Structure formats: structure tokens, C-alpha cells
Amino acid sequence: MWGILRRSAVDGGGFSASSLRRTRSALVSARSYASGSKEMTVRDALNSAIDEEMSADPKVFVMGEEVGQYQGAYKITKGLLEKYGPERVYDTPITEAGFTGIGVGAAYAGLKPVVEFMTFNFSMQAIDHIINSAAKSNYMSAGQINVPIVFRGPNGAAAGVGAQHSQCYAAWYASVPGLKVLAPYSAEDARGLLKAAIRDPDPVVFLENELLYGESFPISEEALDSSFCLPIGKAKIEREGKDVTITTFSKMVGFALKAAEKLAEEGISAEVINLRSIRPLDRATINASVRKTSRLVTVEEGFPQHGVCAEICASVVEESFSYLDAPVERIAGADVPMPYAANLERLALPQVEDIVRAAKRACYRSK
């Protein structure tokens, strides 16, 4: 069921929090009609998550470029200024170093900022605050200063936006102790993980994906509830299998599921793991899966050297060496700055056929 996606173009006119509640109560009363799963775009999932957390806790506020009057550069914060007012939703000047520093300071003082980077490429202007001011504070203060902040925004490649706008920062942030790093895939992931991130007392880097914002996913009743939360640090097995383990996160989960379909046609049963949490990394789930299948293909969009895949390979070789029947495989972004030309961009990013090829290699089905 999770492999079924429907692309729906939502220009932000979809669910508002109130229409969501109306639909939900309509559903509750219609529970006797068992079928008909609800669908939700990732954009609406994120919007509803922020809305509900702001409603529940007056300390939560939103800050970023164009998040208020403009309704959000990608419409993720649509309607929030109108609902909560300028004391809870702040449009900032274009100064990442400035507003990130202010956000971290506000978190020191007990508020719960949700800081938006228009893309994570711009977070590099503020990375000193993320690492040195946020990540390390609890440790350096012996637990006296914790930083309950969320840094969120689109991460990784979009379509034709060039080298300075396409980098994936998962590996960089996930290498830092003191930070938590989450990467949702589906609408349910987006809701559950963002709510968990906002409630978490530690700094969380929340890596979204621009190309996923408009994608619709089925969503359960449970996930629509305002108390819904997903655990941080636990991966999800999106598809069970027994021949090869494929681990990945964010947009690549969709590609891995497509690859699994193709592999199934050739008699290879692939297990697809959606990491959801890059730090803490769910090594237990990954290793348990590899001990079952004996083969590993790790996939990510970011640069290969010192990447998330490299860490997963190391973990599996360290902890499950004797279970491996084939060398570990890595499929990652090309080891070059992201090209602009559309055909080169396609070559620079993992495609479904790359994942299929690597899985077949791990199963000794090709050269």
C-alpha cells in the first residue's frame, strides 16, 4: 500500500487545520464505511503539524524569510500568520546568521522556535549557530542550557536549481553529537516527525524535500490525530523482503520502492527501510534486516564521500560481518557539484535503475 503514490498539484489551497477537523469528524461518523483511505500532501502534513503544535504550546513560534505575509516560500506556513498573529509568526530580513542566532538565543531562554531556512543551502550562512551555539550547549553547560529548537526547510536537489541550491546536508549535520537529524518521506512521516521534533527538548535539524511537498500519500486516522507523534531514532520498514536490504531516506524512499517492484518481477525480494531518523541512526533495525537478507544496498542523494551510506556500511561491516554474503553497495549522488544541464543533473542523482543494478550485483545476478 505504501508504494502507491499519487501526484496531486496543491497550490496551498488544500487542507487548512479547520477543514481538516471537519473532514476528520465526518470520517469518524462515517466509520461504518470501512474503505476509502484519506490522502494528504506532505505540504499539508507539515502545515497541520506546525499549526497543531502552535495551538498546543504558546512557546512555539515560527521564524524565517517570507513565512508570514508571503504565506511561505513553499506555502508550508500558509495561513499561520492569519491564525496566530505577528507575535507568533515572524518574517525576518534576509540574514540567516542573524535570525538563527536570535532563534537559538530564544531557545536558551525557554521558547521553542521553529526556524525555517528557505533551503538548507542557506543554512551554511548560519551553521556556526547550529553547531556551536545549539548542538553543543547542553553538553558544555552540564545540562543547564538545553536548546529546544527546530531548524527546518527543503534539503537536497530540486529540479534544475544548480550547484549552490542542490546540496544534501544530512551527512554534515548527522555527524554532530548534540543534534538530532530527521528526514521524512511520506505525509505521515512529515506529521509525526515534525511534531516530535517540535516537542523535543534538543536541537533538531528537519530535512524536508521540495519535490515531495506536492506529493499525496494515504494517511491513517491515527496520524491525523493532534496527539500523533513518531518516535525519534526509529526507522520504518516500508516493504518487507528477504533477499536484499535497501536503506534510504527522503525522496529516495520512493525510488527504492519502485526499484523493489522491478526487482520483484525478477524474483528478488527487497526489503526497503525508510531511515526517518539520520541521527540517532537506527542501527538495530538496519543490522537486523541485513542479518535476515545478508545483502545491503544503501542509497542517498548527497555526495558519496563521508556520507550517510558510508556510516551505514561501516556499521553493518562492524556488527554483522559474518552475515554478509556480498560486498556492501552504495548508490549516492555523483561526486561532483550538481550540474545545471538537465541531462547531467539526471546523471548526478541516483535513478531507479541504479538501485536495481546494485541490488542485482549484491545478489550476484549480474557482473
Partner 1 sequence: ISDDSSFYGGHGIVGAQVPLGCGIAFAQKYAKEEAVTFAMYGDGAANQGQLFEYICLWDLPSILVCENNHYGMGTADWRAAKSPSYYKRGDYVPGLKVDGMDAFAVKQACKLAKEHALKNGPIILEMDTYRYHGHSMSDPVGAHTFTRDDISGVRQERDPIERIKKLVLSHDLATEKELKDFFINLNIDMEKEIRKEIDDAIAKAKDCPMPEPSELFTNVYVKGFGTESFGADRKEVKAALP
Dist CA 112 CA 106 (whole Å): 8
* Catalytic annotation present for 96: yes
Going 291 to 297 to 300 to 306, the CA torsion angle's sign is positive
Minimum distance from CB of 308 to partner 1 (Å)? 15
**Closer CB to partner 1, residue 235 or residue 331?**
331
Annotated active-site residue in 53, 96, 238, 271: 96
Q: Binder to partner 1 among 8, 19, 95, 220 (CB under 8 A)?
A: 95
Q: Binder to partner 1 among 164, 222, 225, 314 (CB under 8 A)?
A: 164
65-73, 127-135, 189-197, 222-230 -> range binding partner 1 (CB under 8 A) = 65-73
Angle between helices 42-56 and 17-29 (to 10 degrees): 100
**Closer CB to partner 1, residue 233 or residue 302?**
302
The label of the residue with cell 511537498 reads 213
Which parts of 335-364 interact with partner 1 (CB under 8 A)?
335-337, 339, 341-344, 347-351, 354, 357-358, 361
x/- letters, 113..132, toward partner 1 (CB under 8 A): --------xx-xx-------
Instruction: For residue 28, give every residue at least 6 positions away whose Cβ sits within 8 Å of its Cβ, in sequence order, or none.
Output: 221
Dist CA 210 CA 217 (whole Å): 15
| E-state strands within 162-219 | 180-182, 204-208, 215-219
Count of residues in contact with partner 1, rule CB under 8 A: 46
**Closer CB to partner 1, residue 50 or residue 309?**
309
Minimum distance from CB of 48 to partner 1 (Å)? 20
Binding of residue 229 to partner 1 (CB under 8 A) = no
Rg (CA), the chain: 20
- Report which residue type is found at 61: F
CB count in 10 Å sphere of residue 227: 8
Instruction: Say if residue 280 is preceded by a cis peptide, omega within 30 of 0.
Output: yes
Query: Is-contact 178 130, C-beta < 8 A?
Result: no
Q: Binder to partner 1 among 66, 136, 146, 178 (CB under 8 A)?
A: 66
Dist CA 364 CA 30 (whole Å): 51
Minimum distance from CB of 4 to partner 1 (Å)? 25
Nearest CA-CA partner of 38 in 56, 60, 20, 17:
20
x/- letters, 295..334, toward partner 1 (CB under 8 A): ---------x------------------------xxxxxx
Query: Among all residues, which ones are annotated catalytic?
Result: 96, 165
Binding site for partner 1 (CB under 8 A): 65-66, 69-71, 73, 91-98, 121-122, 124-125, 162-165, 304, 329-337, 339, 341-344, 347-351, 354, 357-358, 361
